[in-house]
Each structure stands twice: as C-alpha cells, then as structure tokens.
C-alpha cells in the first residue's frame, strides 16, 4: 500500500505534483470502473451503456435532450447505445407530452442491471471513505466539484438538487 503521507504535499503544487494528481485520477477511475466494466463486457456493453443506464435510472422519464445535456455526447453516439438498450429491453422509450419529445425510463431488467453495477461502486466508495473523517470527505467532494466546468456544475446541481 502506498504511503499516504508521500501523496500529501504543501499547498503550492508544481508540475510534478499536478502530474501525480493526474495519475491518481487515472488509476482510481480505472479501478472504480473495473467491476462494472467486467459485467458490461459479458453483455457486449461498455461504459456508454453504463452511463445511460445510470442516469436514466436516476431520473425516471428523462428526456433524450436532458440525457444528451448530461452526457455531453452527440445524438449519433447516444442513438447507437440507446437503440441497443431499448432493443434488449433495459430501457423503455415513450412519447412525451408533444410527439417530438421522447422519454426514457428503466425496465425491471434495467433497474436490476443499474442496481448491480451501482452496488459495486457504492461498496467500493464506502470501503474507502469510511477510513476518513467528514472534513476529509467534504474536501475531496469540493475538489471534484471544482474540477467541473461552471456550466456543467449547473447541470450537476439540477440533477442532484431537484425539488
């Protein structure tokens, strides 16, 4: 196990230390996604499928427009993934109030898959954060939030703090 004290540096960060943060983000994200990736690979799905399943599960009746705004991908990229999820009955596509609006929700099969994938990541995060105090965790969340571009912080807040 790496010595955590070797990762902690004074507040001034030189390029070497910033590169270390880049590497920490790379390795932590790789390991964070590895469990779900293994499950998805067996289904011929990838991370794009996971993202769609996650956010459609987070907000029932999410519109395609809203999903595109969250994921920041093209309609063409979403179309390929979404068509597969609809065809394999993980996602239900329905018509909204006007005929042009399409709404997305998870089927029972989709709910089960989302739960299975999220449980792995929730367990992973829980096992790590329980080793830290509330102040450390809040500091970490502040850093992550601050790394999000301002316009995307608005989207993050909208999907997390809806009334």
Residue 128 located in a structural domain = no
**What CATH number does residue 110 fall under?**
1.10.10.10
Structurally, the chain folds into a number of domains equal to: 2
Per-residue model confidence (pLDDT) at position 12: 64
* Residue 138: domain span: 133-163
* pLDDT (tens digit per residue) in 5-52: 666 655 567 888 889 999 999 999 999 999 999 999 999 999 999 999
Checking if the pLDDT of 144 tops 80, the result is yes
Examine the domain organization and report whether 30 and 106 are in the same domain: yes
- State mean pLDDT over 43-65: 95
Tokens 């999903």 -> residue: 67
Per-residue model confidence (pLDDT) at position 13: 75
Residue 3 located in a structural domain = no
Per-residue model confidence (pLDDT) at position 161: 83
Q: What's the pTM value of the predicted model, to 2 decimals?
A: 0.86
Residue 30 located in a structural domain = yes
CB-based burial, 125-163: b 16+ in 10 Å, e otherwise: eeeeeeeeeeeeeeeeeeeeeeeeeeeeeeeeeeeeeee
């Amino acid at each position: 196990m790496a010595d955590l004290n070797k990762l902690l540096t004074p507040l001034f960060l030189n390029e070497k230390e910033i590169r270390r943060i880049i590497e920490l983000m790379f390795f932590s994200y790789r390991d964070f996604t590895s469990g779900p990736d293994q499950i998805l690979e067996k289904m011929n799905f990838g991370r794009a499928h996971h993202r769609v399943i996650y956010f459609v599960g987070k907000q029932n009746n999410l519109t395609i427009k809203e999903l595109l705004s969250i994921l920041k991908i093209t309609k063409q990229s979403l179309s390929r993934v979404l068509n597969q999820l609809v065809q394999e009955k993980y996602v239900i596509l329905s018509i909204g109030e006007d005929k042009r609006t399409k709404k997305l929700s998870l089927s029972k099969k989709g709910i089960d898959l989302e739960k299975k994938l999220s449980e792995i990541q929730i367990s992973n995060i829980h096992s790590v954060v329980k080793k830290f105090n509330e102040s450390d965790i809040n500091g970490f969340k502040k850093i992550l939030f601050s790394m999000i571009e301002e316009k995307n912080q608005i989207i993050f807040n909208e999907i997390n703090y809806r009334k």
